[in-house]
């Protein structure tokens, strides 16, 4: 199975929508790779510049209802082609969450107080997230700080991630 | 359908269930898979590259080019071509190209493709619109769409129903748009995530199918998987050309159709995850402020907000009733010099009907630009994109930052209020301009 996690990007706001993750004007692209330069282009946050903050990141930590709005799978794709394969949040919009697993990517929700604690501890510091899917462990590491958090995937979600996505799973089963 | 009492959506899930992997996901058989040119081409290309360029049933797949049409550049032309070529090679007869195309969630119901009890997916978040007919209709991403096209199935979480009782009676200047904005601001933009919103009560009963589609259309703005209404005589009347003797002759009389539709009704003692009661009698004409659809205020309490553009159209409010509502306000009046007015009738049939009723003339006399049916401006792809810093009063469904163009601001409202705003140049209501509501 592929490796998940790596350098962490903090997006410190709730309700980040898929228009912010990838604006509709780029939906005219028919390859995932073409979305790469535009990831999170319309997201306006203090201390965030998509041009410099997205490259090199492999994971995102954010707040509630991440990925709300449009059903565009271009949103997970824009993350994926930038090397981001796991998003940790307080909650996700349904379609975005499903799209992540359908692509074999991870959308992990954690309790609000855990998310708050992670922001308090790591926000503003260069942080790495390690993901152990088998054990259900997330490890956040920064400058001597370490936090371990447990997470659970349903068997169905784990099967999708292992199969590499829903197309492979469904093609074999139905 | 025996056993314990069930909600409408539970009945749909039970009758369409084909697999429960790990006992966790419900894999449902799909009655319809709807496709448009933005999210489908990547699925088509992926199926081709996997050597699985097949469709589960060409009669259950409907496709339209609607987001950018006619094509505006080479890229959108290619998206249209991929969809067109695919529809042809698989014998998908219900494919709607330029001249016959319209906004998917207005066009497909109008063509009679939606029935009570159906399961429907589309690679479009506003697919929840079709729940107005008593169907379970969910927006999905391209991968779910791809599997839907190939296998005719889709996986969902177990059904959870949130009952929204819309009580009271709407004031004459209040429409379905104001009702759904009220619902969204009541429960928040994630208030119905992973739930189906079942709309009940006298307000829904009194709404036309157009109004119910407006209501269900924005269920996703509260995070819902689908909106849903009980199919009644209003539903039967709308579908009659398709289900009666002129159509597939499934029913001899409307009463017979209604009796059959009733089998889908939520059982009286069905249990709901939550029940929300909203007194709709007190709703006033509303507009969004800010960048989330749950940021809603009564227009009469707003400060004066000047607008650069007024847009009337989309899968939310581009149907004939919406155009009538706006035209009644615009008739004999001119829009402000500072405002660009754009109206996009949602389908060719809506456009033709509006022409016949003199509505298009009213829009043109008022100074509106009338475009062909398309989604274009709503998501800032074409036909009315905003410039940085511009403000638009819009009958669409999302006021996200930059939604209608980078750096643009969107205020969502009903067609009547959008029309009044176009006349005044700032956000207002017909009442404030001394225009009496319809008797």
Residue for token digits 């009220």?
Answer: B182
B292-312 pLDDT per residue, tens:
999 999 999 999 999 999 999
Q: What b/e string do you get for B374-389 counting C-beta neighbours within 10 Å, with b at 16 or more?
A: bbbbbbbbbbbbbeee
Q: Does A17 touch chain B (CB under 8 A)?
A: yes
Query: Which whole number is the average pLDDT over B213-238?
Result: 98
> Looking at the complex, does the CB of residue B208 fall below 8 Å from at least one CB of chain A?
no
pLDDT at res. B439: 62
- What is the tens place of the pLDDT at every residue in B166-203? 999 999 999 999 999 999 999 999 999 999 999 999 99
Give B438→chain A minimum CA distance, Å: 34
pLDDT at A1: 64
Please check the confidence at residue B1 and state whether its pLDDT lies above 60.
no
- Pairwise CB contact (< 8 Å): A95 & B67: no
Question: pLDDT tens across B401-437, in order?
Answer: 999 999 999 999 999 999 999 999 999 999 999 998 8
* B223 pLDDT above the threshold of 70: yes
User: Which residues pair with residue B137 across a beta bridge?
Assistant: B120
Superfamily of domain A5-173: Aconitase, domain 4 (3.20.19.10)
* Beta strand extents in B68-195 (DSSP E only): 95-96, 119-122, 136-139, 153-156, 161-167
Residues 6+ apart with CB under 8 A from A164: A104
Residues 91-120 of chain B whose Cβ lies under 8 A from any Cβ of chain A: none
**Distance separating alpha carbons of residues A84 and B349, to the nearest angstrom:** 45
- A146 is written with which tokens? 């370490």
**Residue B438 reports pLDDT greater than 80:** no
Confidence of residue B3 (pLDDT cuts 50, 70, 90): confident
List beta partners, residue B164: B199, B276
- Where do the CATH 3.30.499.10 domains begin and end in chain B? 8-156, 286-433
Q: What is the rounded CA–CA span in Å between residue B232 and residue A130?
A: 54
Quote the CA–CA distance of B271 and A1 in Å, as a whole number.
42
B241 pLDDT tier (thresholds 50, 70, 90) = very high
ipTM: 0.96
CB pairs under 8 A between A and B: 147
Interface mutation vs chain A, best among B29, B54, B382, B400, most A CBs within 10 Å: B400
Tell me: the pLDDT tens digits for B11-67? 999 999 999 999 989 999 999 999 999 999 999 999 999 999 999 999 999 999 999
Per the prediction, chain B carries an average pLDDT of 97
CATH class name, domain B8-156:
alpha beta
Shortest Cα distance, chain B CAs vs residue A101, angstroms = 10
Q: For residue B397, what is the nearest residue in chain A, using CA coordinates? A: A69
Q: Helix (H, G, I), strand (E, B), or coil: what is residue B39?
A: coil
Q: Per DSSP, which regions of B86-134 are E strands? A: 95-96, 119-122
**Span(s) in chain B for CATH 3.40.1060.10:** 161-252+272-280
- For B73-125, how does the pLDDT look when each residue is reduced to its tens digit (9 = 90+)? 999 999 999 999 999 999 999 999 999 999 999 999 999 999 999 999 999 99
- Does A81 contact B at CB distance below 8 Å? no
Pairwise CA distance, residues B320 & A18, whole Å? 30
Q: Which of B143, B149, B224 to mutate to test the interface with A (most CBs of A within 10 A)?
A: B143
Q: What is the mean pLDDT of residues B136-154?
A: 98
At residue A164, the pLDDT reads 81
Q: What is the pLDDT at residue A165?
A: 86
Instruction: Respond yes or no on whether the N-terminal peptide bond of residue B70 is cis (omega within 30° of 0).
Output: yes
Range B286-433 has CATH code 3.40.50.300? no
User: B161-252+272-280 belongs to which CATH class?
Assistant: alpha beta
Instruction: Please give the residue of chain B at the shortest CA–CA distance from A67.
Output: B223
Question: Buried b vs exposed e over B228-261: b needs ≥16 C-beta within 10 Å?
Answer: bbbbbebbbebbbeebbeeeeeebeeeeebbebb
Q: What residue ranges of chain A have pLDDT lower than 70?
A: 1
- Determine whether the interchain pair B124/A166 forms a contact, defined as Cβ–Cβ distance below 8 Å: no
Distance CA(B106)–CA(B390), nearest Å, equals 28
Q: Are B194 and A94 an interchain contact pair (Cβ–Cβ within 8 Å)?
A: yes
Q: Stretch B321-343: mean pLDDT, rounded?
A: 98
Please give the DSSP secondary-structure letter assigned to residue B159. P
**A96 three-state secondary structure:** helix
CA distance A70 to B170: 30
d(CA B378, CA B103): 11
> Does any CB of chain A come closer than 8 Å to the CB of residue B196?
no
Cross-strand partners of B61: B33
Mutant choice from A31, A48, A50, A68 vs B, greatest count of B C-beta within 10 A = A68
The model's pLDDT over B341-389, given as tens digits with 9 standing for 90+, comes to: 999 999 999 999 999 999 999 999 999 999 999 999 999 999 999 999 9
């Amino acid at each position: 199975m592929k490796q998940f996690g790596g350098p962490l990007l903090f997006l410190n706001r709730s309700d980040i929508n898929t228009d912010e993750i990838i604006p509709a004007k780029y939906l005219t692209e028919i390859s995932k790779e073409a979305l790469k330069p535009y990831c999170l282009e319309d997201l306006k946050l203090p201390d965030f510049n998509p041009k410099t903050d997205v490259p090199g990141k492999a994971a995102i930590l954010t707040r509630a209802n991440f990925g709300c709005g449009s059903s565009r799978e271009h949103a997970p794709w824009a993350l994926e082609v930038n090397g981001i394969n796991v998003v940790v949040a307080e909650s996700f919009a349904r379609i975005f969450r499903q799209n992540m697993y359908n692509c074999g990517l991870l959308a992990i929700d954690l309790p609000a107080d855990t998310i708050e604690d992670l922001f308090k501890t790591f926000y503003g510091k260069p942080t790495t997230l390690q993901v152990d899917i088998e054990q259900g462990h997330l490890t956040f590491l920064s400058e001597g700080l370490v936090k371990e958090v447990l997470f659970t995937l349903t068997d169905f979600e784990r099967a999708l991630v292992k199969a590499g996505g829903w197309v492979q799973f469904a093609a074999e089963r139905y | 359908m025996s056993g314990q009492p069930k909600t409408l959506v539970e009945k749909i899930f039970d009758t369409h269930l084909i697999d429960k992997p790990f006992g966790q996901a419900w894999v449902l058989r799909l009655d319809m898979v709807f496709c448009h040119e933005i999210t489908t081409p990547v699925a088509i290309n992926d199926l081709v590259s996997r050597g699985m360029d097949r469709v589960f049933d060409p009669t259950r797949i409907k496709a339209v080019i609607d987001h950018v049409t006619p094509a505006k550049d080479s890229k959108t032309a290619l998206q249209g071509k991929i969809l067109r070529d695919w529809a042809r090679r698989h014998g998908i007869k219900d494919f709607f190209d330029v001249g016959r195309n319209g906004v998917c969630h207005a066009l497909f119901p109008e063509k009679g493709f939606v029935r009570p009890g159906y399961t429907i997916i589309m690679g479009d978040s506003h697919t929840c619109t079709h729940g107005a007919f008593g169907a379970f209709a969910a927006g999905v991403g391209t991968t779910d769409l791809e599997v839907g096209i190939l296998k005719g199935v889709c996986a969902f979480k177990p059904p959870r129903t949130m009952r929204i009782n819309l009580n009271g009676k709407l004031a004459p200047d209040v429409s379905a748009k104001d009702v759904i904005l009220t619902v969204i601001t009541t429960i928040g933009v994630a208030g119905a995530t992973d739930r189906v919103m079942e709309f009940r009560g006298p307000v829904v009963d009194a709404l036309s199918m157009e109004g119910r589609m407006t209501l269900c259309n924005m269920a996703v703005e509260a995070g819902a998987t689908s909106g849903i209404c009980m199919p009644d005589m209003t539903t039967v009347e709308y579908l009659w050309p398709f289900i009666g003797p002129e159509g597939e002759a499934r029913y001899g009389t409307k009463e017979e159709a209604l009796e059959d539709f009733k089998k889908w009704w939520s059982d009286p003692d069905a249990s709901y995850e939550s029940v929300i009661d909203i007194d709709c009698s007190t709703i006033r004409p509303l507009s969004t402020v800010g960048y989330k659809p749950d940021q809603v205020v009564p227009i009469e309490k707003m400060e004066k907000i000047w607008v650069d553009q007024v847009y009337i159209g989309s899968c939310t409010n581009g149907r004939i009733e919406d155009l009538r509502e706006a035209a009644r306000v615009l008739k004999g009046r001119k829009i402000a010099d500072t405002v660009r007015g754009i109206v996009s009738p949602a389908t060719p049939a809506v456009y033709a009907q509006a022409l016949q009723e003199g509505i298009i003339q009213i829009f043109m006399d008022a100074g509106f630009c009338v475009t062909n049916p398309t989604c274009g401006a709503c998501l800032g792809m074409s036909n009315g994109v905003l410039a940085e810093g511009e403000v638009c009063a819009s009958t669409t469904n999302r006021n996200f930052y930059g939604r209608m163009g980078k750096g643009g601001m969107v205020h969502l409202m009903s067609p009547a209020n959008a029309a009044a705003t176009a006349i005044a140049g700032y956000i207002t209501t017909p009442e404030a301009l001394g225009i009496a509501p319809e008797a």
